[in-house]
Amino acid sequence: MTSPIRKIYFGIADRQQMFRLFDRHAQRPNRRQNDDSALYAGEWFEIARAEHDYMLEIIPPLWMRGEMFAMREFLTGSITSVFYTLGINGVTRFFHAYCDLSDPRSPYEMRDAIVERERRPVTAMTRDERIEHIWSDTHDDYRGYAGADFRPEHRGKRKVVVYGRPGTSFQLLDHLTDAQIAEKLPVHLRHLPLPVAA
């Protein structure tokens, strides 16, 4: 099964954020026992030029092709980091993505998806993008994976802290209401419209 290509963070990640986003699934259960390629494949986010250049210099790349290079070290299975330098609407921008190199088209499909997403003239976020941003932006102490205190069919799913009456509790990330999503997003992202269906 192919993982969907998805933007996981809005804004330009600084170095600390970039390294957090590299393994935003670090708390997952059975981390060392499962093939978690599907968790990572297709994830992407924007970085600054300094972070792009730092990653290019840190270790010789596996390969360089035009506007992209792949990291020599694989995250899991055939999944590795691919870094892009892309001209979008007349501006040079930099991105990180996890691509499955078992499919030679993967880096090119990722590039095309990033360009298509970032060329949109109106800033908007889908519900899935809002959910992914919340997961990416939430500190590890306030997110995790559902355990024995959840119904069996929900165990292992992502959860985040929500604030309400009488107090705080963990709730499944995918079950957040629109109001809870708005509360958890940074102020500058709360009122972005949903994309208009084609």
Q: What is the pLDDT of residues 9-43, one digit of tens each?
A: 988 999 999 999 998 887 777 666 666 677 788 99
Q: What is the distance between the alpha carbons of residues 93 and 63, in angstroms, rounded to a whole number?
A: 20
Q: How far is the first Cα of the chain from the last one, in angstroms, to the nearest whole number?
A: 25
Question: Taking 60 as the threshold, does the pLDDT of residue 1 lie above it?
Answer: no
Instruction: List, as own/partner pairs, every contact residues 108-117 make where C-beta atoms lie below 8 angstroms and the sequence separation is at least 24, other chains included.
Output: 109/5, 110/5, 110/42, 110/44, 110/82, 110/84, 111/67, 111/68, 111/84, 111/86, 113/5, 113/44, 114/44, 114/84, 114/86, 115/86, 115/88, 117/7
Question: 71-120 pLDDT, tens per residue?
Answer: 988 887 888 999 999 999 899 999 999 999 999 999 999 999 999 999 87
Strand (E) or helix (H) holding 187: helix 187-190
Q: pLDDT value at position 84?
A: 97
Distance in angstroms (rounded) separating the CA atoms of residues 18 and 26: 14
Report the percent of the chain where pLDDT is more than 90: 36
Q: Average the pLDDT over 113-139 and give the result.
A: 85
> What are the backbone angles phi and psi of residue 67, rounded to the nearest 5°?
-90, 15
User: How many Å is the maximal CA-CA distance in the chain?
Assistant: 56
Q: Are 97 and 114 in contact (CB under 8 A)?
A: yes
